[in-house]
Amino acid sequence: MNRLNILVTDKIGPAGLAMLRQHADVQEAYGLKGDALLAAVSQADGLMVRSGTQVTSDVLAAGLKLKVVARAGSGVDNVDVSEATRRGIWVVNAPGGNATSAAEMTIALLMAAVRKVPQANASIKVGEWKREQFKGIEIAGKVVGLVGLGSVGKVVARILNGFGARVLAYDPFITVEQADRMGVQKVELDALFAQSDVVSVHVPLTDATRGLIGNVQFAAMKKGVVLLNAARGGVVDEPALLDALNSGQVSAAGIDVFEKEPYSPDSTAAQLVAHGNVVATPHLGASTSDAQEKVAVQAAEQMLLVLQGKPAAYAVNKPELKADSALAVSA
């Protein structure tokens, strides 16, 4: 039986690549775009990506042999899932593999924002000593509202409980009993906004969550609230956040994700990054060696299951199988 071909267009952990190579021929071709990407994917049975590659309808149409797209991470907003489903192509991901890293990044942004660490660091490096200017707040005793209590939100909640914060969460897929077991109070979104000193976003970007937090929601929050988004750009309306920061309705923000990445110099995102009360990072939530190994292995496992004609635990769609789907990778 001929070995199948797997195209990897974004860097993944070596352990995941090694797993794929045991069963298939693997082509690493990073940063492909346009015609080069279309040509490469035309020969692929499987396509492995992270967030850098946009798997559009054109890419899927070019993948005449393509059986599966694997996302080494949780979000699949860079994959046209509906088109993949229509074409009989499975889409699988690796949820939870980067949960700890993303949660720790959220906490890093939180502490940096409320203790003004980046601003104080920049000041002292130029010889200043302005203690009063960088007075912060404690998290102990504060109310932190989590919008979403999935794999990342759960870890954030556990860490916040250790800080002594009171944790609220809005998540329609979590029961009151499940939240209680995590030391979290389940509330509706309006109650979360009204009560929280800190609001942290932990939902995927979908049609339902795009622009979930905008002008109306910021107005419903406490004056001086801290806003954190290490989930997905587009969930928080960027112009609305900028207005809220300028008015003081939001006292500080920690942002790891943007609606367009990388953003343009004349965009609202650029103004947010330049704002004195914003701590910003370039989508580093899953950028740890630990997380990259975990998601690479998990995504590789899911891809191989599909190519072997077996059910994948983390399939995000259920397409009609292609006629040639019986071809499996060598055992």
- Residues annotated as part of the active site: 232, 261, 283
The closest alpha carbon to 156, from 183, 134, 138, belongs to 183
Contact 48, 5 (CB under 8 A): no
Instruction: Report cis status (omega within 30 of 0) of the bond before 262.
Output: yes
CA-to-CA distance for 88 and 168, rounded, in angstroms?
A: 41
Decide if 239 contacts 268 (C-beta within 8 A). Answer: yes
Cα→Cα distances 20→26, 93, 186, 230, Å: 7, 15, 41, 30
Token code pair at residue 230: 């290490």
Alpha helices in 10-163 (DSSP H): 14-21, 34-41, 57-62, 81-86, 99-114, 117-125, 151-163
Phi, psi values for residue 90, rounded to 5°: -75, 145
Is the CA virtual torsion 107, 296, 151, 234 positive or negative? positive
C-beta of residue 74 within 8 angstroms of C-beta of residue 94: yes
User: Residue 273 and residue 229: Cα distance in Å, rounded?
Assistant: 13
Instruction: Give the E-state strand segments of the chain in sequence order.
Output: 5-8, 25-28, 46-49, 68-71, 90-92, 143-147, 166-170, 185-186, 198-201, 225-229, 250-255, 278-280
